[in-house]
Homo-oligomer: A and B are copies of this chain.
């Protein structure tokens, strides 16, 4: 799936910033791909982009309007439909990552047809994937794995892309979730693939490359999350990573959405190696990424030092302290 750029971000009238995290994530990483934001009265999120409606966005050159929100149930609110019709009428494609397909909403489907524009549902891949083969592919791959969902796996992969490129490595981010697809303009939401094709989709997402090229695959879920571990395992097998980084949020008590406690970083390292060696016997950890946002600076530094010492791995908070220690470890472990 390829999404035409630049984007106009549609934030609707979401009640808070969390509901606009897709849109805000795009701006964090691809500010220069965004010509503006379109907010309806009452919108409580702000991506700090120029305000514009559909016609103004099209005039500013936007090729795709991104519905940059998540909402409970994954359904498009009825009163947003006319905004999407306006965008199509103004000559833009419209992309969304809701569970509900844009094309299943008759007024939107009709408007797209009438104006000859594309509707892109990033949670509904149009690729016909094959089942995974498990065969080793040329090139280098790194997967970000987690002690839970939403612990910084996408952020870490994107920060590593920037850090490794700055260090002169050939590195590119591989999106596996909806926000990641918007940020890279390419990819597939692996959690929306039919179960039989999870590892096959991961193989398609991180294909054979030149031997020294790094693909930085955005992880999903956790091998220890009772809702999503199947996705995490299929992604691990398909991505066949040479290296992985464990992402962690130290103040969380329960795994997201369920009653289960978080696994330890050591358990995640052990399980990732045990299961990952099926498709890459040389799989190894190269770092720990800890989200220390909830900790004071001294506590954050102590937490990182303790984790580094315990696991003999570089540990950092990519947001707060950057990814240099992990990039250095990668360059040491994989001299090219």
Contacts and interface: CB of A to CB of B under 8 A. Distances in A.
Contact of A230 (B135, B226, B231, B259): B231
Contacts of A230: 195, 198-199, 230-235, 237
Interface string A61-103: 0000000000000000000000000000000000000000000
Contact of A196 (B131, B192, B258, B271): B192
A192 B194 contact: yes
Interface stretch (A179-187, A241-249, A274-282, A311-319): A274-282
Given A131-B257, A134-B260, A229-B233, 17 more contacts: A132-B226, A132-B227, A133-B227, A134-B259, A135-B258, A135-B259, A195-B195, A195-B230, A195-B231, A198-B230, A199-B230, A229-B278, A230-B231, A230-B235, A230-B237, A271-B274, A271-B275
Contacts of A238: 226
Nearest to A270: B274
A319 B334 CA distance: 51
Contact of A195 (B135, B194, B224, B274): B194
A234 to B, nearest CB: 3
A129 to B, nearest CB: 11
A98 to B, nearest CB: 13
Given A233-B233, A260-B278, A278-B260, A131 B228 contact: yes
A200 interface: yes
Contacts of A191: 194-196
A179 B230 CA distance: 22
A156 to B, nearest CB: 21
Contact of A134 (B133, B226, B279): B226
A303 B90 CA distance: 71
A268 interface: no
Nearest to A255: B134
Interface in A164-219: 190-196, 198-200
Contact of A226 (B223, B224, B279): B279
A199 B231 CA distance: 10
